[in-house]
Structure 1
């Protein structure tokens, strides 16, 4: 039994042609979905990358794992899916990155692992070690192909061919200055395929692709697949000031150069054309990988999971990047292909129940027949795959958090008594409402039935006061129910320690 666990960074949940996106073409993922199951209401638990991936890899909400930002160490006390699989005899491999920052405990302060957040997840064997946020073997490969490596390696993702791109008044979107066959996506998929081909026995691999993460620059021919003119209109108020008036946090993020959109329509069109192009590039390479698995006889004994770590605003609500509370930043794709006959009931189905990235670790471990650690806040999706029905007691809402302590000057300058531990927000979202709670700022409430675009806060409208209180109580209940269990499920007895399963 094999596991192919794929993530594609910053992929919006609606951006699949099978889900009705009017522009992007994703035939390989569409085919995967037709052979598996699609979870339409799937959400990440945090942003940006490291907090979200920590939830993905540990099965825990942010308020439990406490990786609040890129560079926040992940406690060595936590297990993860790779460590659990290693315990049952697998040797998980990594092609890409996990954005893991090492726990300083037990390490010398001068240890080079404490200078970045690009360590591999504990328990996983990386075949593409990362330095300066770029895979070292890929850089070495580019050198062998004759490319000049820029001083800042990250520029490999954004340097275009010479000329004027659409955003600057050109007549087309200029491509990346790296050939498509040499692009990181092609390289990682190729390396992954070679590793699988050499595997002796059952295998588990995590293919973690950067794209379609910015810079939004696609190699040829993917830069020209989607004409930029009028490609997509942003979902937002007509005036930036009107959007900013919705909430002080939103106003601050719009003002922040890291997150605010400047309103240039050609820049957005250029970005969307490249974003879609990068998605189709990923889709094509995944198609080749899937064909390879079929040819080598792995397809019918491999669990395939495709998801992302978070979405992307790309101009919606006058924002770019991933942040805050809007669906664009947290709604992500999830496709699961379970090859077992036991999962035939769900083959080709689309499921509307709420699922979360904390469900991925329990699902993989359950599929391999091993136990799910008590630290996990998520649930296995196998009962859904096997019955095509919603299990009893399944969640009716999703939860995520965003910690903005590193972008909180706007709040602390005017409120010096506010601590960094109060600079975060928590979300509870179901089919009807989205409630956003801030420790020291007013809450937000969106009526998604009346206002699916989340344009108007109704938290102060008299008819919604009861709803606001109800959802605040539900969010508190969720946090109390899932608070870190620690050793609470262990009891010392005259016979020795007993776990919850053995307690009377």
Structure 2
């Protein structure tokens, strides 16, 4: 009898890629994720191909670049014609479970205008069986809090600072913890649900997609996570001397700085101006963000231990990643919709239980990998065909100790900044441009990073000599050749990956013929 095959696909929300102690972060300690990496493979140059949450998860689940799935904003419908990982694993008998959220906006075609699915961008991806959906999970969690005696009105104040808490003078506002304990937090509630489900399914195949909200804002965490990191030890963000100097570098950056200077534009219940806050408050915000990561790290540790305790660890493919990054004060900005690396550089750890993966345990892969690679990797591990729509490539060779020939030399990223009701900036109003002009694309190589805006000036950074992206070289005549080279690479990438589902099919006397010649690896 074949041993059960299990996939545990864990996603956090808004996790900066360098924030793993396995990567040598000077402050953050992530022991459980480090242990997972030591028994698996850590991808050191992993990037989401798009932000914010809904678009990033659309790419993660479909293997498609934004230019092909076109769900570019939270609330932009995801075309139902695209298959996804949940649909694909159903083909071999899995009932894929979702605990958390995918922020999938339903395709409105064929639905009545009164359909409740068209009133939210937080819907589940078609194909998943929902064990605990985020909006429902929030309500169930809040009901659990009320049963335990906590007092609050609803979602708008469940993350309020703990009433009556007296913080020390050498700690900032974000040292104040949540009103609920760590044992009763949303992260703990989610982990409890996942642990219970895994324990009930030890003798069968399963596919579980578990999504944690944290370290997504609001930037607040329960005790003792609020006190894990001394703000005095936290580095200040990378930025120019003043917000005005930073804003002068590009209109897109200026618009975000202006937005974030307004109350509640990013972090609820926070009275501070996030652009001009004092140094102690800035360090404390970052320290709290790191503490939020530790809460997720501990939750992942509990889940992995459950797999071991129930005898399932050696049958389970474990993937840990997230949707997008977090600016964390760099360039006077917060969130994930700036054209800088902190918005898009994210973690990826994969633990493959097979004997074929033993040689690669503890490996750190330095090649550029992308969020669109996760879906085909899981399908490949299961022995499934990878759909023609997929833009990413399987990472299975890396998990087995190999390095594919001709692997991509850059990461490719897109961002849509048109206005909408679910956050972001209003690109049309801010810049006086058309909706379809509110887009940028990035090609990020080892040295050069080029950012092309459809209707705004470009950006060029020398990532070897200016890793903080403080010096835009796009207007320097001495770098015109680099600009041309990177623009040509971007154009070739877009030509190569524009939708191609039917491109290689040909109709003739013998019917439908597929004449596709596969590339040897990602390009």
Moved more, 89-98 or 241-250: 241-250
State how many pairs are aligned.
Answer: 498
Residue matched to 2:393: 379
The structure 2 residue matched to 1:389, chosen from 393, 402, 426, is 402
**Retained in 1: the 8 A contact 2:172–2:281?**
no
Q: Which blocks of at least 5 consecutive residues in structure 1 are unaligned?
A: none
- Counterpart of 2:215 in structure 1 is 212
Q: Deviations over 1:41-63 (max 9, x none)?
A: 00011111011111111101111
In structure 1, the residue matched to 2:77 is 73
Q: Secondary structure at the match of 2:336?
A: coil
- CA gap of 1:27–1:244, structure 2 versus 1, over 3 A, is same
Describe the superposition over 1:88-112 as per-residue Cα deviations: whole angstroms up to 9, x where unpaired: 1100111111111111111111011
Within the alignment, does 1:440 sit opposite 2:468 as a pair? Answer: no
Q: Say whether the 8 Å CA contact 2:427–2:438 is kept in structure 1.
A: no
Inter-partner Cα distance in structure 2 for 1:421 and 1:18: 41
Structure 1 residue 489: Cα displacement? 3.3
* SS of residue in 1 equivalent to 2:208: strand
Partner of residue 291 from structure 2, selected from 269, 277, 280: 277
- For 2:270, the equivalent position in structure 1 comes to none
Q: Given the alignment of the two structures, is residue 405 of structure 1 paired with residue 405 of structure 2, yes or no?
A: no
| The 10-residue stretch of structure 1 (226-235 or 404-413) with the greater mean CA deviation from structure 2 | 404-413
Separation (CA, whole Å) in 2 of partners of 1:285 and 1:33: 16
Equivalent residue, structure 1, for 2:112: 108
Any idea what the Cα deviations from partners look like across 1:313-334, whole Å, max 9, x if unmatched? 1110111111121001110111
- Find the partner of 1:98 among 81, 87, 102: 102
CA distance in structure 2 between the partners assigned to 1:23 and 1:235 by the alignment = 16
**Alignment partner of 1:193 out of 192, 195, 202:** 195
Quote the residue 1:253 is aligned against.
Answer: 256
Structure 2 CA distance for aligned equivalents of residues 413 and 201 of structure 1: 53
**Does structure 1 residue 347 correspond to structure 2 residue 361?**
yes
Aligned counterpart, 1:478: 493
User: 1:159 Cα shift?
Assistant: 4.1
Distance 1:237 1:150, change over 3 A: same
User: Secondary structure at the residue paired with 1:342?
Assistant: helix
Q: 1:127 to 1:272 in 2, by over 3 A?
A: same
TM-score by length of 2: 0.91
Write the deviation string for residues 413-467 of structure 1: whole angstroms up to 9, x where unpaired: 664xx21100111000000100000111111110112211111011122221011
TM-score normalised over the length of structure 1: 0.94
Aligned partner of residue 512 in structure 2, secondary structure = strand
Query: 1:25 Cα deviation (Å)?
Result: 1.3
Cα distance in 2 between the residues matched to 1:48 and 1:213: 11
Secondary structure of the residue aligned to 2:73 is coil
Change (3 A) 1:462 1:196: same
**Match among 14, 19, 36 for residue 15 of structure 1:** 19
User: Structure 1 residue 372: deviation in Å?
Assistant: 0.5
Which residue matches 1:182?
184
| Cα distance in 2 between the residues matched to 1:214 and 1:408 | 17
Which runs of 5 or more residues in structure 2 are unaligned?
Answer: 267-272, 519-523
The alpha-carbon distance between structure 1 residues 397 and 171, as it changes in their structure 2 partners (threshold 3 A), is: closer
Worse-superposed segment, 137-146 or 190-199: 137-146
Residue of structure 1 equivalent to 2:240: 237
In the alignment, structure 1 residue 460 sits paired with structure 2 residue 475: yes
Q: Residue 373 of structure 2 corresponds to which residue in structure 1?
A: 359
Instruction: Give 1:171 deviation, angstroms.
Output: 8.4
Write the distance in 1 (CA, Å) between the matches of 2:227 and 2:96: 37
C-alpha RMSD of the superposition: 2.1
For residue 39 of structure 2, the aligned residue among 35, 45, 53 is 35
Which shifted more, 245-254 or 81-90? 245-254
Aligned residues of 1:268 and 1:314 also touching (Cα < 8 A) = no
Contact 1:96 1:135 survives alignment (8 Å): no
The secondary structure found in structure 1 opposite 2:199 is helix
Q: C-alpha distance in 2, partners of 1:127/1:149?
A: 26
SS at match of 2:412: strand
Query: Among 293, 306, 310, which residue is 2:324 paired with?
Result: 310
Answer whether contact 2:173 2:284 (CA < 8 A) is retained: no
8 Å CA contact 1:366, 1:380 repeated in 2: yes
**Separation in 2 of the partners of 1:185 and 1:469?**
47
